[in-house]
Structure 1
Amino acid sequence: MKIGIDKIGFYTPNMYVETENLAKARHIDPGKFTIGIGQEKMAVTPITQDAVSLAANAALEILTAEDKKAIDYVIFATESGIDHSKAASIYIHELLDLEPNVRSIEVKQACYSATAGIQIAKGHIALNPESKVLILGADISRYGLETSGEVTQGAGAVAMVVSADPKIMTIESPSVYQTEDVMDFWRPLHSDTAFVQGKYSVDQYIKFFQNLYYAHHDKTNIGLSDLDAILFHLPYTKMGMKALKSVVEEANEADRERLLANFDISKRYNAIVGNIYTGSLYLSLISLLELNTTIEAGSRIGLFSYGSGAVGEFFTGILQPNYREALYKEKHDNMLDNRTEVSVEAYEKTFQDTIPSGTENIELPIEQDPATICFAGIKDHMRQYVNKNN
């Protein structure tokens, strides 16, 4: 049975700041951000958006009534959870008006967990071939103002429907994976911003990629010449390039040029949205599929998933016939083109506009947010969401 990605879409907030302007405000050479880090724009999240609303907006545009009837599992992957107990997927279930007979869970392991969701979905569909699984990877990346990681912030969500006989890409087996206790990035319960050891994290990321790529090659005999592209989790785009270059030096010229060119295409959306943590690898997949003009059905794509802490996985997928017809490029183009650029001062104000811990009641200005689904506030300590279409 072929199992894989049947639909895929993404959502990002309607505001962004240019990293060039951010660099100037921080008295840093803009080239260090735009070239050295490889980021051009950074999504800015209004107070009316959180991981739940971002994910719901991502899913809203790709699900049909038929999908909603077939979905019997919702897997929400995030490290920006809004409750220690209740799964974010339960809010999604209500906002999207899914059928009652659905499993709904939340999974966490830094930026890796959407990949864990895919592997869970594969097992579920193998036992239930008529089922569809909705996987959501949604996060808001926060490092704090004037920190070393500030330019690698971002926000957004990717929504995927995984099914048998998928329209976009089958997921091949086997994959290879690795766990190691690494303190390269973490966010304690008391903090709303992350801690990171930057150079150490880059070293671990590259080490994991090399270990897993070669382990996968040993297990499957799939090498660089068999891959049309290799995609990466991209905290910032230059990080993926460093990892790719660590293996393509051994490739022949044709393979090296193909893999580097397709990486350049795959990083585009990440460069203008920023780091979206769990959805980052799959945002790169969307970028490659929607922006390339040469990759045909039957092509094999390598995917490197990494979550600090650390867990990594390398696996491959095969593009399906007419995969381009299942994409949402026009919708994504419109969303990205209609975003509003904000000043560094406005970004800083928005960043600091947060709800104090323990707030019992608050109403938020959802009329200022063009998104269909918004976080509307808190009532009696219960989060409130609004779907403006209802």
Structure 2
Amino acid sequence: MNIGIDKIGFAAPNYVLDLADLAQARNIDPNKFKLGLLQSQMAVAPVTQDIVTLGAQAAQAILSEKDKEQIDMIIVGTESSIDQSKAAAVFIHGLLDINPFARSIEIKEACYGATAGLILAKTHIAQHPNSKVLVIASDIAKYGIASAGEATQGAGAIAMLISADPSILILHNDSVCQTRDIMDFWRPNEDKYPRVNGKFSTEQYTDCLTTTFAEYQKRTGKKLADFAAMCLHIPFSKQGLKGIQAIAQEDSKTLNRLTERFQEAIVYNKIVGNIYTGSIFLSFLSLLENSQSLKAGDNILFYSYGSGAVCELFSGHLVSGYQQHLQPDRLHTLNQRTPLTVEAYEALFFEEIQVDETGQAVDLPVDETDFALVDIQDHKRVYRKK
């Protein structure tokens, strides 16, 4: 049975910060961001936008009423959870009016969670061929004003409908995972922002890739030259490029080809920033919508990495007619976002919801987007769908 990605959608907040402006405000050479990170803009989410609203928006863009009837599982991969108990998938299930007889769960393992969701969805479809699974990767990366990771922040969500006989990508049965108990990036409950050992984390990202790829080759017999393109987790775009260089350094022809495809695969990541669990799938969407070289049948290699650390290599091939299920004007839409000054970004992105002694939100801003957090009552989050 062929199982894979039938539809894919994306949502980002309507605000954006130019990293050249951020560099000027922080007295940093703009090329440190533009060339050193390969990042140029950052999506900025207001307090009324979170993983629920962004995830619902990404899914709403691709789902038909028939899809909502057939979906019997919703999986949200995130590390930006808004509740220690209730899954974001449950909120999204209600906002989208999906079939009530569905399983709704949330998966956490740093930036790897949505990939785990994808593999679980594939296993579920294998057992229930007529069902569909909605996998959502939704995150807001926030490190603090003037922090070392400030320029790599971002916000957004990817939604993928997984089914039998998919219209975009058929997943192969070749996954290879690796787990390492390390502390390269972690988020203690008592801390507002993540803790990061930056140099160690980038080293682990690359070493996990090279060692897992060696095991992948041993198990599958596949070579890097067998793939038309490679999509990687993109904490910042330069890191993904270094990953490709690390495993393709001895094959210049393949390296050049994969590098060309990689530049197409980071068009969106460069202007959205890090969206944690969704970064690898945003890169895949960017590749599909910006490459003129891909064709049906092409094999794509994926490298998912979540700090802590869990990584996975897997692959798939493109389905005939996949181009008809994309949004070719997405870059134009992203370019219509509202630009922010550095001062406005600091006020918007780092605003915190104030709750009084009764658990009621105080002076929550009005948000006119399709999905928004509109209130907190007795410590319960209240969302609105337009």
Q: Is the structural similarity TM-score above 0.5?
A: yes
SS at match of 2:84: coil
Matched, 1:340 2:332: no
Contact 2:355 2:362 in 1 (8 A): no
Give the equivalent residue in structure 2 for 1:232.
232
Aligned to 2:350: 352
Aligned to 2:258: 259
1:162-199: per-residue Cα shift (whole Å, max 9, x none)? 00000000110121000011100011111221110110
Provide the residue aligned with 2:82 in structure 1. 82
Q: TM-score, normalised by structure 1?
A: 0.96
Residue 102 of structure 1: aligned partner: 102
C-alpha distance in 1 between matches for 2:184 and 2:222: 30
Which residue number in structure 2 is paired with residue 174 of structure 1? 174
Question: What residue is the counterpart of 1:275 in the other structure?
Answer: 274
Question: What letter corresponds to residue 106 of structure 1 in structure 2?
Answer: E
Q: Is the 8 A contact 2:353 2:362 kept in 1?
A: no
Residue matched to 1:18: 18
Residues in 2 aligned to 1:311 and 1:280: alpha-carbon distance in whole angstroms: 15
Query: 1:146-165 to 2 correspondence within 5 Å?
Result: 146-165=146-165
Deviation at 1:358, TM superposition (A): 7.3
Provide Cα deviations, 1:280-338, integer angstroms capped at 9, x if missing partner: 000000000000011000000000000000000000010000001111233x3353022
Following the alignment from structure 2 to structure 1, what is the Cα–Cα distance between the partners of residues 121 and 356? 35
Instruction: State the secondary structure of the residue aligned to 1:73.
Output: strand
Give the distance between the partners of 1:262 and 1:333, measured in 2 at CA.
17
Which whole-Å CA distance do the structure 1 matches of 2:311 and 2:354 have between them?
35
Where does structure 1 differ by over 2 angstroms across 4 or more consecutive aligned residues?
Answer: 332-335, 356-359, 363-367
Identical counterparts, % of pairs? 46
- The CA distance in 1 between the partners of 2:363 and 2:174, in whole Å, is 47
* C-alpha distance in structure 2 between counterparts of 1:52 and 1:141, whole Å: 15
Task: Tell me what 1:93 maps to.
Answer: 93
**Farther-moved stretch of structure 1 (369-378 vs 99-108):** 369-378
Question: 1-side partners of 2:362 and 2:140: how far apart?
Answer: 21
Specify the code of the residue in structure 2 equivalent to 1:298: G
Question: Quick check: 1:4 aligned with 2:43?
Answer: no
Alignment CA distance shift 1:370-1:338 (3 Å): farther
Greater mean deviation of Cα atoms: 332-341 or 35-44:
332-341
- What is the CA-CA distance between 1:366 and the residue it aligns to? 5.9
Deviations 1:82-119 (A, max 9, x none): 11111110100100000111000011000001000011
Question: Where in structure 2 are the equivalents of 1:204-243 lying within 5 Å?
Answer: 204-243=204-243
Deviations 1:332-372 (A, max 9, x none): 335302201100010011123111477711266664x4521
* Paired amino acid for 1:76: V
- Look up the equivalent residue of 1:151 and give its one-letter code: A
Counterpart amino acid of residue 192 in structure 2: D
Distance in 1 (CA, whole Å) between partners of 2:4 and 2:248 is 27
Cα RMSD for the two superposed structures: 1.3
Contact 1:57 1:371 in 2 (8 A): no
Contact 2:297 2:320 survives alignment (8 Å): yes
TM-aligned CA deviation for residue 160 of structure 1: 0.3
Q: Tell me the amino acid that sits aligned with residue 232 of structure 1.
A: L
Q: What is the CA–CA distance in structure 2 between the aligned matches of 1:186 and 1:371, rounded to whole Å?
A: 32
2:376 to 356, 375, 378: 378
Q: What is the CA deviation profile of residues 189-243 of structure 1, one whole-angstrom value per residue up to 9, with x for unaligned ones?
A: 1122111011000000000111111211111111121000111100000001111
Aligned partners of 1:194 and 1:213: how far apart in 2? 28
Change (3 A) 1:380 1:33: same
The letter for the 1-side match of 2:234 is: L
Aligned to 2:385: 387
1:37-58 deviation digits (Å, cap 9, x = unpaired): 1110001111110111110011
CA distance in 2, matches of 1:273, 1:50: 15
Which residue is 1:286 aligned to?
285
- The alpha-carbon deviation at position 66 of structure 1 amounts to 1.0
Paired position in structure 1 for 2:296: 297
Measure how far apart 1:256 and its partner are: 2.0
**Paired residue total:** 385
Q: Cα distance, 1:155 vs. partner?
A: 0.3
Conserved 8 A contact 2:76-2:107:
yes
